Amino acid sequence: MKRVALIFLAFLLMGGVSYAQKREPGKVKTLVIDPGHGGAKPGAIGAHSQEKDLVLAIAKKFGKLVNDNFPEVNVIYTRSSDVDIDLSARSHIANKAKADLFISIHANSHPTSVPCGTETFVMGLSKGKANMAVAKKENADILLEDNYKNNSAYQGFDPNSPESSIIFAMFQNAYINKSLDFAQMIQNQYCSSLKTTNRGVKQAEFMVLYMSAMPAVLTEVGFISNPEEEAFMMSNFGQASIAVSLLKAFAAYKAAEEGTPVMKNFKIDLPDWNNGRPKPVKPVEPKVEAPVVDSASIAKTTADTATVVAPVEVAKPAPAAPKEYVVYKVQFMSNEAIIQPGDNLLKDISQFEYYRQGNVYKYVTGSFYKSSQAKELQDEVRKKGFKDAFVVAFYKGERITLQQAKEIIMEIGVGGED
């Protein structure tokens, strides 16, 4: 009976929300950008950063790009500094401004460092445990708010209540199609510009989208728990790349709504946008040479792979492939001490290298020009017991992010995918 009453209340509220805001039809004049979390609510925490800081930086860059390219659009931020904004207040800001579009920017996380990629959500019922887990993570902020149970704006919302999920999934029904269109445009741009894993457009019960009286999405721009993606999101170039993707998606949505041509030539005035791109490298024919090793090292080199067993005395084993090309390896463990070949910690991995990062030694195996080959080895390494093994890239003897590797490969035309 309680459930029926709650759902009836939802329909009444939906009627109020659907007709509360009056806008000029076919125009996108006001955009609300919502950087997730803030203040005492850091969101997800990575090895070197916090979600609240990353998404604020990306949101500001995105907003600047919209202002520079569409001066007629009023850009409003739910927060522009490291302050705590209640979830209920975020949609209220958008409603009060009679916004035509709402986007909440977040960074994803996972207990392990393996998952990666981008995904964009609209309001709706979760179709899987993973979607629900993401929603619960982002909704958890309300539990940190003072006396949230007595906040009338939440209408008795409980993050763990199935009834609440059903009710709040209904509020965005009036805008679901346009929300889905915008979400898909965002994912299309991510795939085109970021070359990252496309986790797709999904539905879940996000409090920040609840009662937003306009098309609204929540986008997860990467995994802060993944070392490569955290480094990318922390860099000016990475933040700019994400902001440009969002700008292009916004331009496509605005053009579709207003029936105008999609803007092609954008003004992009962001730090490191041009400087962050890898400089062209003159292509040369691949040539694999056996590394020079002493009697304590064992090396095996083939045409497309090479591995080296590093002696204890060598902190930086000789690379197994020319430094002019991107080389993919599989990182399978870290340790504060140097591990000797045959140690039980290595299980049955007998051929490996290591590099030092701070006070920690990172252990890698394999050496490939193709990332697909490294991924095959990654699967084998995980079967050996290293469940968190992942692919890493090196260029000119230095560790780089996978995104940087893709950019360099595009420039030199050697390596990458099959």
**pLDDT on residue 417:** 56
Question: Architecture of domain 2-258 in CATH?
Answer: 3-Layer(aba) Sandwich (3.40)
**pLDDT on residue 161:** 54
Taking the C-alpha atoms of residue 409 and residue 415, their distance in angstroms, rounded to an integer, is: 6
Taking the C-alpha atoms of residue 278 and residue 259, their distance in angstroms, rounded to an integer, is: 37
**pLDDT on residue 275:** 53
The answer, yes or no, to whether residue 274 has pLDDT greater than 60, is yes
Starting at the edge strand found earlier in the chain, the sheet holding 216-223 runs 74-77, 30-35, 101-108, 216-223, 118-123, 198-204
Per-residue pLDDT tens for 175-216? Answer: 888 999 999 999 999 988 887 888 899 887 777 787 788 999
Backbone angles phi, psi at 262, to 5 degrees: -75, 130
The answer, yes or no, to whether residue 296 has pLDDT greater than 70, is no
How confident is residue 173, by pLDDT bands cut at 50, 70 and 90?
low
* Helix (H) / strand (E) containing 365: strand 360-368
**pLDDT on residue 324:** 61
Task: Please indicate whether residue 352 or residue 254 has the higher confidence score (pLDDT).
Answer: 254
Q: Which of 6-15, 170-179, 256-265, 286-295 has the lowest mean pLDDT?
A: 286-295
CA distances from 287 to 10, 54, 321 (A): 67, 41, 8
Domain ranges of the chain: 2-258, 298-412
How confident is residue 289, by pLDDT bands cut at 50, 70 and 90?
very low
SS3 174: helix
Let me know: does 330 contact 366? Beta carbons within 8 Å.
yes
The answer, yes or no, to whether residue 15 has pLDDT greater than 60, is no
Task: Please indicate whether residue 293 or residue 180 has the higher confidence score (pLDDT).
Answer: 180
**pLDDT on residue 303:** 29
Tokens for 225, please give them: 């728990």
The answer, yes or no, to whether residue 319 has pLDDT greater than 50, is no
Let me know: does 102 contact 34? Beta carbons within 8 Å.
yes
| Partners of 218 in the β-ladder | 104, 121
How confident is residue 2, by pLDDT bands cut at 50, 70 and 90?
very low
Q: Which of 75-84, 149-158, 159-168, 304-313 has the lowest mean pLDDT?
A: 304-313
Taking the C-alpha atoms of residue 234 and residue 251, their distance in angstroms, rounded to an integer, is: 25
Taking the C-alpha atoms of residue 407 and residue 274, their distance in angstroms, rounded to an integer, is: 13
Average pLDDT over residues 271-278: 60
**pLDDT on residue 305:** 30
If you average pLDDT over each of 42-56, 343-357, 384-398, which comes out highest?
Answer: 42-56
How confident is residue 309, by pLDDT bands cut at 50, 70 and 90?
very low
User: Where does 21-86 have alpha helices with state H?
Assistant: 51-69
Instruction: Give the pTM.
Output: 0.58
Q: Which of 78-92, 125-139, 318-332, 381-395 has the lowest mean pLDDT?
A: 125-139
Per-residue pLDDT tens for 71-111? Answer: 999 999 999 999 988 877 888 899 889 999 999 999 999 88
Average pLDDT, the chain: 74
Per-residue pLDDT tens for 36-64? Answer: 999 988 999 999 999 999 999 999 999 99
The answer, yes or no, to whether residue 384 has pLDDT greater than 60, is yes
**pLDDT on residue 66:** 97
Let me know: does 368 contact 304? Beta carbons within 8 Å.
yes
Taking the C-alpha atoms of residue 94 and residue 213, their distance in angstroms, rounded to an integer, is: 8
**pLDDT on residue 266:** 94
**pLDDT on residue 243:** 96
Query: Where are the extended beta strands (E) located within 62-138?
Result: 74-77, 101-108, 118-123
Pick 298-412's CATH classification: 3.40.50.300, 3.40.50.620, 3.30.1330.90, 3.30.70.1070.
3.30.70.1070
Q: Which of 169-183, 249-263, 330-344 has the lowest mean pLDDT?
A: 169-183
**pLDDT on residue 3:** 46
Q: What percent of the chain has pLDDT over 90?
A: 33
**pLDDT on residue 369:** 80
